[in-house]
Amino acid sequence: MQTSLAKKICIYLGAALLALVIALPVLWLFIMSISSSTHLTTLPLQWWPDSPTLENYRSLLIYAENTPSQSFLYAIRNSIFIALAATGLSVAAAIPAAYSFSRMPGPRRKNLLYAVIAIFMLPPVALVLPLYTVMSALGLLNTHFALIIVYCSILLPFTTWLLKSNFDTIPSDLDEAPIIDGANRLQAIWYVILPIARPALGAAVMMSVLLAWDEFFYGLLFTNDIRAKTVTVAIADLAAGRVADYGLVSAAGILAAVPPVILAFFMQKTLVSGLASGSVKG
């Protein structure tokens, strides 16, 4: 009994310590975002500002021409569109690909699956030169379409592997039965497999959106103005001047984290169950 109680205490203490480690940087970022530039550069450093202000948030959210708010608000719009479009295309292509790898195994398909994962593991710098050359030749630099294509090449291997692992746990009899009754393969996937694999599908969607939202390297190289610049690049631009406004950068970081946090809040159960079911067999 005492051993069980001590074990529970250790687990809760460990969880509390982990939560503290995760929350402290976010808390400090928020404190910086409501601090003035004078307060942030005053020595000795104070942990809480004497006069908290929301001026940094107003500077980013109230639109005005040729101000940081213009670049930031356009970047938020661009990131939302690019992340959702890349996720939609990737998941739509990953569903039949994952089903094929799961239900029609073979040495060639297995090797192809490993090749897909190997491409996903390649560092971005290894692909940036050919991708830049192709995009430049096609006139796609500084466009949403360029980033959507590049992000699909990142997301498609990940979503395919995740969905394939989940499809492996679904008995093949469930989708063979409607085919025997006259349904085609796509109908079996749509009406039988996908409802069962909904948690994994939700996890794939959420993780894909987060990966596309957080991507920085390709966004930096393939965009140069507000027409296609993403939020990660816009935040980097705020810190790229000779004198960085740390309060403004912190406020931008907090605002950029809001959409992923909202998405994670509403899909947290789907994420946990989807990742767990996809890790049982694969």
pLDDT in tens, 219-274: 999 998 888 999 999 999 888 766 678 889 999 999 999 998 888 888 776 666 55
- Residues 102, 278 contacting (CB under 8 angstroms): no
Domain span holding position 214: 54-278
Is there a domain that residue 212 lies in? yes
Is there a domain that residue 2 lies in? no
| Distances 182 to 87, 103, 175, 199 between C-alpha atoms, Å | 32, 18, 12, 27
Is there a domain that residue 173 lies in? yes
Q: Identify the CATH number of the domain in which residue 257 sits.
A: 1.10.3720.10
Is there a domain that residue 16 lies in? no
Q: How far apart are CA 100 and CA 97, in angstroms?
A: 5
Please count the structural domains in the chain.
1
Evaluate if residue 108 carries a pLDDT over 90: no
> Percent of the chain, pLDDT > 90?
34
| CA 235 to chain centroid | 17
- Residues 208, 158 contacting (CB under 8 angstroms): yes
Is there a domain that residue 4 lies in? no
Is there a domain that residue 100 lies in? yes
Name the amino acid, one letter, at 98.
A
Global confidence as pTM:
0.85
Per-residue pLDDT reduced to its tens digit, 143-171: 999 999 999 988 998 899 889 888 888 88
pLDDT computed for residue 2 by the predictor: 63
> Percent of the chain, pLDDT > 70?
93
| Average pLDDT value for the chain | 85
Lowest mean pLDDT among 41-45, 74-78, 187-191, 236-240: 41-45
Is there a domain that residue 12 lies in? no
Per-residue pLDDT reduced to its tens digit, 10-51: 888 988 999 889 889 899 999 999 988 777 777 777 788 888
Is there a domain that residue 179 lies in? yes
